[in-house]
Amino acid sequence: MKKINWELWKRALFDLFFPGDCPICERAAYLDDVSYACLSCLDSIAWIKHSRCKLCGVGMDGLDYAGLICKNCREHSPVFSSGRTMFHLNPAGRSLIHQLKYHGDKRILQDVPLFLERAPDFLEFITGAVLIPVPLHKKKLHKRSFNQSVWIAEAFAREAGVSTVSYDCMTRIRNTPSQTKLDLNQRRKNVKNAFALKEGTCLDGFDRVVLVDDVYTTGATLDACASVLLGSGVSRVEVATLGHG
């Protein structure tokens, strides 16, 4: 008797009621049978594979930059200890983030195992950590109905195994304007004192905390969150994002 492929049936039913396309090229989803996005589209993303800034994790390919710090981190030293990011925001990477962040296409994160294959050392970096997603203000969360950073942290935790947990323990106490058109100093001022820990949060005994967000731009938001965690007694805070740019 031929074995039923329940995964294909599940995808077919899902696509019937919630039709979707590759988040990068917009052709049919699961075109390659193994990934929601086309494998060729995933390969077109600018994955960070080699030398990177030892603080924020941005790729610094072209020369042997091992052990060096990028210009942004030299000029504005972050309060977090180190970071990793999976890819630069070239057009393909930007499309992926846009579909996840603004259209709530959570199925993109089914491909996280394939992301990890293309971003060396990222899985090792998050393994064994407490992954804390950057929060949205309650008004924005109500309007959008989801926080993509929570989804990303949960997806990372699933792939990293039982030693890694996602802990949604922060809150945004000020509904700050969008950071999109602000420069670095304006961004830092915009998110200053904008975050806090949720009531009842206990971080005692956590050896490694990694903040998780969709994109690292200037690091202002991640730095503001890291300051709260360090002020609560956490000894070391690191950051991990999908994209950088």
**Low-confidence residues in the chain, pLDDT < 50:** 17-18
Domain ranges of the chain: 6-244
Q: What does the pLDDT read at residue 6?
A: 63
Inter-CA distances, 54 with 57, 58, 72, 188, Å: 6, 8, 12, 21
111 contacts 37 by C-beta, under 8 angstroms: yes
pLDDT at 82: 96
Cβ(244)–Cβ(85) below 8 Å: yes
CA distance 236 to 219: 16
- Residue 2 confidence (pLDDT): 58
Rounded Cα distance between 85 and 117, Å, is: 13
Residue (of 142, 85, 107) closest to 20 by Cα position: 107
Return phi, psi of residue 47, to 5°: -65, 140
What is the Cα–Cα distance from 22 to 26, expressed in whole angstroms?
5
Q: What is the pLDDT of residue 190?
A: 82
Radius of gyration of the chain (CA): 18
